[in-house]
A and B are shown apart, each in its own frame.
Chain A
Amino acid sequence: MKRALTTGLGASGSALLLAALGMVFLYVPTEATQGIVQRIFYFHVPCAWIAFVSFALVAICGIFYLWLDQQVWDDLGYAAAEVGMVFCTLVLITGSLWAKPIWGAWWTWDSRLTTTLILWLLYGGYLMLRAMSEDTAQVARYAAVVGIVAALDVPVIVVSVRLWRTIHPAVLVTRQGGHGLEDPRMVATLLVSIAAFTLFAAWLLMLRFATLRTRTRLNELARHLALNELSRRGEE
């Protein structure tokens, strides 16, 4: 059942990604003012969407882990953080690639860019915490706490960064958003692309989750074996 779901997600995600790629390069009309670079938008937005959903999932899993104390929530949260980090990195990279020809700079301290960068740093910290410690229940609780606190921090970050930028406006604070898509073909391409990335990310999440579940089971087995060994020696 689980394997069928994973395979289905992988297959449909790959097929839709190919379709999205075709639409981005062959079907959708070139945007009038920005030209060909605007096409990166159809990858940029889905990546941002996946990153934000993943980070929300990290916090939700953290709450469930602390509440129910079931390892499965920790594994899912860890997998979500890793997937989120990949897509958050892609958001920053695709954004930079687009910004160089359009804004004339790789980076500006625009409120959305700054917020995304801080999110990236927050969840980078989360992953470093996991990388620098053993797989114990205690570390799982630490990670859950960091995930929850980071998510609580996000609204304050958004408000403070926006206020910081509106008081000192950057050269370009407005950027083209979803509402700037006049052509229905642009909307269609964006929607297909978002669907493709969502399936693809869900597939990655399932794969990573399955790996982490296996690791958990191995850890449990190893602990069990060690305990058996100890009690056997005690009897001798």
Chain B
Amino acid sequence: MAGLSAVLLKDLKLELRSGQSTIALVALSLLILVVLVFALGNEGVRGPEGAAGALWVALVFAGTVGATKALLAEGENGCLRGLVISPVDRATLFAAKMMAAAIFMAIAEIAAVALMVLFFNLEFDARLARIVPILALGIVGFAALATLLAAVSGRTRAADLLMPILAVPMFVPALIAGVKASAGVLAGRPLSGLQAWLGILVAFDIIFVVSGYLLFEQVARED
């Protein structure tokens, strides 16, 4: 527990001092939303379907870039090696890294939701509260997946390329479920009517959090 909070607090403190990841993630989310509005045209982006799609595209791409960046930062000055040889077991290391990634992504998503409401002419109302658990499930799943895969691709020749190539196909089930559920609540449907999609998100989170927790030992090991 002490190890977990130490690593997590280290990441948060680092972020609080530089603000790099969060600012980059928020900026990137904003840009992705703007690009999508231009790319899809005025008609294409109207309504909850377009808004939910744009929100999740922002989540996937901002999340991928954020995870790669966080990993490259650890690579500098041998920080990663320091973490690996510290008396914190690997599973705890995974949990701490995953939580840090989830927190940064959550901050970026809050900004992205606010921008989505503005850009897509939605209302700030109760429907936005219902999107919170859906996004939270998506963020946890993506953070787990990205933390595991960033460790996998980190020490290869093209880490920044490999990370999205591995992460995006694996995230497909959560992406489908997340977009459908988000579009549902933005269209005014209650969460109880979207149980199938929420179930897929929960199953995805369980699979990746558990397998990341168990397999991180294998990828963080050094020979």
Q: Which one of A125, A153, A163, A167 contacts B207 once the chains associate, using CB atoms below 8 Å?
A: A153
Contact yes or no, B223 A149, CB < 8 A: no
Binary B-proximity of A125-154 (CB < 8 A = 1, otherwise 0):
110110011001111011011101110110
Residues B218 and A156 in contact, CB atoms below 8 Å apart: no
* Interface size in chain A (residues, C-beta < 8 A): 33
Summarize B's interface: helix, strand, loop or mixed.
helix
Contact B156 A139 (CB under 8 A): yes
Candidate in A118, A138, A161 with the most chain B CB atoms within 10 angstroms: A138
Interface flag for B196 (CB, 8 Å): yes
Task: Flag if B211 contacts A159 (CB, 8 Å).
Answer: no
- Measured between beta carbons, the chain B residues less than 8 angstroms from A133 are 155-157
- Whether A167 lies near B180 (C-beta < 8 A) is yes
**Which residue of A125, A139, A164 is within 8 Å of B176 (Cβ)?**
A164
> Which of A125, A141, A161, A167 sits near B166, CB closer than 8 Å?
A125
A–B Cβ pairs within 8 angstroms, 22 of them: A118-B169, A118-B172, A121-B168, A121-B169, A126-B166, A128-B162, A129-B152, A129-B162, A132-B158, A138-B221, A138-B223, A144-B218, A145-B218, A146-B149, A149-B170, A149-B211, A150-B170, A152-B207, A156-B203, A159-B173, A160-B173, A160-B174
Q: If A142-B219, A149-B208, A160-B173 touch, does A129 touch B148 (CB 8 Å cutoff)?
A: no
Q: Which residues of B does A touch, CB under 8 Å?
A: 148-149, 152-153, 155-158, 161-162, 165-166, 168-170, 172-174, 176-177, 180, 196-197, 200, 203-204, 207-208, 211, 215, 218-219, 221-223
Known contacts being A122-B170, A128-B162, A128-B165, is A164 close to B180, with CB within 8 Å? yes
CB-contacts of A150-199 with B (<8 A): 150, 152-153, 156-157, 159-161, 163-164, 167
Q: Give the nearest-CB partner of A124 in chain B.
A: B165
Q: Tell me, in angstroms, the Cα distance from A161 to B149 when the chains sit together.
A: 23
* CA–CA, A159 and B196, complex, Å: 10
Tell me whether A138 and B155 are in contact (CB under 8 A). Answer: yes
- Closest residue of chain B to A139 (Cβ to Cβ) is B156
Contacts A121-B168, A137-B223 known; list 17 others, CB within 8 Å: A125-B162, A132-B162, A136-B223, A144-B218, A145-B215, A149-B211, A152-B207, A153-B170, A156-B173, A159-B173, A159-B200, A160-B173, A160-B174, A161-B172, A161-B176, A164-B176, A164-B180
A146 vs B149: C-alpha distance in the bound complex, in angstroms? Answer: 8
Q: Is the CB of B166 within 8 A of A129?
A: yes
With a cutoff of 8 Å between Cβ atoms, the chain B residues found around residue A153 in the complex are: 170, 173, 204, 207
- B211 lies within 8 A of A129 (CB): no
